[in-house]
Amino acid sequence: AQSVSQHNHHVILSEAASLELGCNYSYGGTVNLFWYVQYPGQHLQLLLKYFSGDPLVKGIKGFEAEFIKSKFSFNLRKPSVQWSDTAEYFCAVNETGGSYIPTFGRGTSLIVHP
Amino acid sequence: SAVISQKPSRDICQRGTSLTIQCQVDSQVTMMFWYRQQPGQSLTLIATANQGSEATYESGFVIDKFPISRPNLTFSTLTVSNMSPEDSSIYLCSVEGAASDPSTDTQYFGPGTRLTVL
C-alpha cells in the first residue's frame, strides 16, 4: 500500500522568505504525484502535478515541485512567499495505470507573516 | 476545472440524528468520490459512487453509517447516519477530470461540508 509523508506539519515564514515543503512517498511502482492547496475558507485546489517527463514541474502562483525518484520525494518550492500563500498544502500520490484514487499526506499548514 | 457544489456548506447537528449532503457537478462524470477530512488529519476516502450501481466503500466505512445515492451522472448524496461527535468533520465530494483537464488521473474537489455534531 502507498503512504505519503509530509514531515513539516506547521511552517511559519515571513514574506519574501523561500519555501520548501517536504513530501516523501512509499511505493515501488510508477506513480503520479500531486500538490493540492486549501486556502482559508476555500476548497481544495490542484496546485501542480507530475505524471512523466521533466521532473521539475511548474504550477500556479509561482510554485514548483521536483520529483526525485531515487529519494521517493516530491518537494514543493517557492522562492519568495507572499502573505496570500497562507494555506494548507497536501501532497498526494496515485499509481500510474492502477488505482486512480490518490493517497494524501497529512498536510502542512503554512502561515506567512506580512 | 469542473464546477462542484455542495449543500449544505456547514451544519450543526444533534447526536443521533442524520444529515444528507448533496453534491452537484456541472458536467456528467462517471466516478464521484466522498472524502472525510477530520481536524488536523489528512483526507480519507469514504467511498466511490458510480451511477447505476452500489457505492464501493473503503475499509472502516459501511453503508449503514454512510449510505450514498448516485441517481444520475451529475449528482450524488452522502448521508451521515446516527451521528456522534466523532463524525464532526469536513465531508468532501470529488470527481475525476475537468473540462480544462480531462485526465482521469486527477481529482477535483468540491468546497466541502463542515459538520459539527454536539
Interface mutation target, options A34, A44, A57, chain B, most CBs of B under 10 Å: A44
- In terms of Cα–Cα distance, which of A94, A97, A98, A45 is closest to A74? A94
Average pLDDT for chain A: 92
Q: Which residue has the cell 445515492?
A: B69
Domain ranges of chain A: 3-113
Distance, in Å, from the CA atom of A69 to the CA atom of B115, rounded to the nearest integer, reads 39
Distance, in Å, from the CA atom of A43 to the CA atom of A105, rounded to the nearest integer, reads 17
Taking the Cβ of residue A77 and every Cβ of chain B, the question of whether any pair is shorter than 8 Å is answered with no
Q: Which residue has the cell 472524502?
A: B35
The pLDDT of residue A85 is above 70: yes
Domain ranges of chain B: 4-111
Which of the 8 DSSP states describes residue A84?
G
The pLDDT of residue A58 is above 90: yes
Longest Cα–Cα distance of chain B, Å, equals 42
CATH of domain A3-113: 2.60.40.10
CATH of domain B4-111: 2.60.40.10
Chain A neighbors of B45, CB-CB under 8 A = 101
Residue B116's pLDDT is 96
The pLDDT of residue B62 is above 90: yes
Residue A99's pLDDT is 64
Interface mutation target, options B4, B24, B33, B43, chain A, most CBs of A under 10 Å: B43
B100 — pLDDT class (breaks 50, 70, 90)? low
Strands (E), chain A: 3-5, 10-14, 19-21, 24-26, 31-38, 45-50, 56-58, 64-68, 73-78, 87-95, 103-104, 108-113
pLDDT digits (tens, 9 = 90+) for B2-58: 689 999 999 999 999 999 999 999 988 888 999 999 877 889 999 999 887 889 999
Is A49's CB within 8 Å of B108's CB? no
Distance, in Å, from the CA atom of A84 to the CA atom of B34, rounded to the nearest integer, reads 28
The whole-angstrom distance between residue B57's C-alpha and the CA centroid of its chain comes to 12
